[in-house]
Amino acid sequence: MEDNEYICHIDSAHHDDKFKKEMKNRLNRIEGQVRGINRMIQEDIYCDDILNQMAAIQSALISAGEILLEAHIKSCIVEQIKHGKVEAVDELMQTIKKMIR
């Protein structure tokens, strides 16, 4: 286990049940949307409708990622900075860069 994870997991409020449930609902919905697109392609639904649905999934996935990122910064990153582990920001930046591009 890495040091980062350690500090992160000490915080018992890391992800509470409410957060986990919300993410579960969001990701279940996204999973269902992906399955729906798969079916639409097999059934020769008009491409344009499928592409619009795909854009909606992208958007839902970005929202889910933003919520998780916020929870991550507010728990793990803030905790590490308070413990003087400012290098946690380097790792965070790598993650944000992947989300921006």
Interacting residues with a second copy between 21 and 80 (CB under 8 A): 23-24, 27-28, 30-31, 34-35, 37-38, 41-42, 44, 46-48, 50-52, 54-55, 57-58, 61-62, 64-66, 68-76, 78
CB proximity list for 91: less than 8 A, separation 6 or greater: 4
| CA 61 to each of CA 8, 20, 45: distance values in angstroms, whole numbers, following the listed order | 24, 16, 23
Cβ 17 to a second copy shortest distance, Å: 10
Cβ 97 to a second copy shortest distance, Å: 6
**Is residue 10 a contact residue for a second copy (CB under 8 A)?**
no
Cβ 41 to a second copy shortest distance, Å: 5
Strands (E), the chain: none
Rounded to whole angstroms, the Cα distance separating 43 from 47 reads 11
